[in-house]
Chain A
C-alpha cells in the first residue's frame, strides 16, 4: 500500500493526472462530448505511457469531464454532459443572479469532495460494496429504476400528471429499436438506423444544447446581445469553504448516495444527481430555494455525480463489471494494457491498484484546484456576445451529435429531439423527467423481462427485502406528495418550470 502511495505521488503520475483532468475539463465543457467519448478518444495516447500513468490519466479525463460538463451548464445553461443537467438548473440560476464565479467554485469543490470521498470508499470498502452489488438482481433493478423515476416525478413542481406523461414519453423513446427480449424491431418506421435505438448523446444534445443555442440566437436577433449574466472574476475561496462547512453533512450524504448508486452496474452518473438533489430538497430547511439557484442543490448534484464515478470503479476493479458506459470503456483500456479486472487484480497487482486509488484521490484534488484557478477564465465566457455563443454552440452541437457514431442520422435524431422539446414546452410538459425515462428505459425493460421470466408469483418479490424496501419508499413518496399538493391547493405550483416563459428554455 505504501509503495503504491509513493508511486502515485511521483512527479510523473501527478503530471499524468494534471493532463487527464485538463483534457477532461475541456472535453466535458464542449456540449456533446461526454466522458465516455473522451476516454475512447484518448485510450490510444495511453499506449505511450506506463500502465499506472495511463490509468491515472484516463480516470483524470473521466473525473475532469464530469466537472467540465458543469461549466457550460452553469455559464450557458448548456449541460456539457448528461450528468450536469441538475448543475445547469441550479448553477445557471446563480449565474443569472451574478454569482457565476461562486457557482463554478461550488461546482469544483463539490465535485472534488464527492470524488475524494469515493476514493476513500475505493480503498477501504471495495470488498463490502462489491458484495452489495452482487445482491442486486432484476427485481431490485426494476424497483430502483421505478424509485428514481418516482423521485423525478415528485421533484418537479409542475403538475404530477405532466411529469408522469413526460416520464412515459422518455420511456417510449427508449423503447425504440430492437427488443431486448425477442430481438424484434419495434417502432423503427422502416429506418434500419433505429434498430440500435436512439443515440443518447444525440437526443440529449437535441434536448438541452440546441434549444439553448436557438434561444440565444433569438435573443441576439432581438437585440439582447450582451450576456451579462453576472460578474466575471475568481471564486471567493473563503465564501466557498464557508459554504462547505455549512453543507458538510449534505456533502457526505450526497457523496455516499453517489457511491452507493455508482456501485450498481449499468447506472451511470446521469441519474444520480436527480436522486441526490431531490433527497436534499426533501430534508432541507429551505426547500423553496432548490431549483432557483440553491448552493446546497448544486453541491448535492456535483458531489453525487462525482462520487458515482468512484463507485462505478468498485465493481469494475473488483468484479470486472462496469458500473457505467464510461466504466465499460475503461475496462477495455485496462484489458488493452494487459490487465484483467477482477478479484485477481488485487492479488497480482496490489502496488498498481493502490497507486491507482491514490492517483484517483489526487485527480479529485486537482479538480478542486484547477476548478478554482480556472473559474476566473471560464466565467469570461459571459463576456462573449450571445450571437457568437449561439453560432459556436450550434456548430459544436452538430459536431458532437455526428462524432459519437460518425452518423449523419444522429444529426437528424438531434433535430427531431429539438422539435419534440419545443412541442413539449408548448404543451407545458417538463423535459427533465423524459430525460431520466429515456436514460433508464432500457435498463427497466430488460430487468422487467428477466424478473418476469424468473417468477410471476408475488411471494418471490416479497422475499427480496431490497426490492420490497424500495417499493415501500416509492409508494410512500407518491402518497406523501399527493397529500402535500392537495393540501397546498392547485395554485401552489412554484415558478420553477411551470411551462411559462421562453418557448425553448429546457431548464425545467
Chain B
C-alpha cells in the first residue's frame, strides 16, 4: 500500500468505528457516538488538506525506504522479512512453544538485521531465550505458551529440584 494512502486508511477505520458505535448504542446522542464521530470529523479536517492527491516524488516521503535501485529493493525485502518473521512467530508460538519459537524468531531477525548469520550472536540468542524461559516460568511463575521443548525443560528442572 502506498504511503500516501495511510491517512485515508485511518479515516476509513475511524468511519467503521463510528458505524459500529451507532449500531451498538441505543441513542445517537450517546457518549461513544459523540466521541467517535468527533474523532472522525476532526481527523478528516486535519488530514484531508495534507493528502498529496498527486503522486509525490519518492524522495519527499518521510522515512522513505521504498526505493527503486537494486540495493534499495534488497533493503526493502529485508525489512518486510523482519516484519514477516515476527508475524510468523505469533502464528507459531502456540504450536512450537515459547523457547523454540522465540529462539528461531530471534536468530532469524538477527540474521536479517545484521545481514549475515553470526554464530556467536545466534548462540547467545538461544541461551538468552533459555535463561529467560527458566526465569519467568520457575522463579516468577509467568505462564507462557508451551510445547515439546518447554515441557522437557520443565521436567528437567523438576527432576533436578527433586534430587
Contact = CB atoms under 8 A, between A and B. Distances in A.
Interface of A: 41-42, 44, 159, 161-162, 164-165, 168-169, 171-172, 175, 179, 181-182, 184-189, 214, 217-218, 220-222, 225, 385-388, 390-392, 394-395, 398-399, 402-403, 406, 408, 411-412, 415, 420, 422-429, 441, 445, 448-449, 499-504
A172 B22 CA distance: 13
A429 B9 CA distance: 14
A185 B24 contact: yes
B21 A175 contact: yes
A186 B30 CA distance: 11
B39 A423 contact: no
Contact of A172 (B4, B36, B87, B106): B36
Contacts of B143: 406
Contact of A429 (B46, B89, B144): B46
Nearest to B112: A221
A398 B90 contact: yes
B35 A171 contact: yes
Contact of B32 (A42, A175, A427): A175
Contacts of A429: 10, 43, 46-47
A390 B24 contact: no
A448 B31 contact: yes
A186 B25 contact: yes
A392 B106 contact: yes
Contacts of A500: 62
B141 interface: yes
Contacts, number: 172
Given A186-B24, A390-B109, A171 B121 contact: no
Contact of B7 (A41, A402, A427): A427
B100 interface: no
A186 B20 contact: yes
Interface of B: 3-4, 6-7, 9-10, 13-14, 17, 20-21, 24-26, 31-32, 35-36, 38-39, 42-43, 45-47, 50, 62-63, 65, 75, 78-79, 82-83, 86-87, 89-90, 93-94, 102, 105-106, 109-110, 112-115, 121, 125, 128-129, 132, 136, 140-145
Nearest to A426: B6
9 contacts: A172-B32, A187-B24, A387-B114, A398-B86, A399-B144, A415-B90, A423-B13, A426-B7, A503-B62
A221 B82 contact: yes
A408 B21 contact: no
Nearest to A385: B114
A159 B49 CA distance: 13
Nearest to A41: B140
Contact of B39 (A172, A182, A220, A504): A172
B14 A172 contact: yes
Contacts of A398: 86, 89-90
Given A168-B39, A186-B32, 7 more contacts: A217-B113, A221-B78, A225-B114, A387-B114, A395-B105, A427-B50, A500-B62
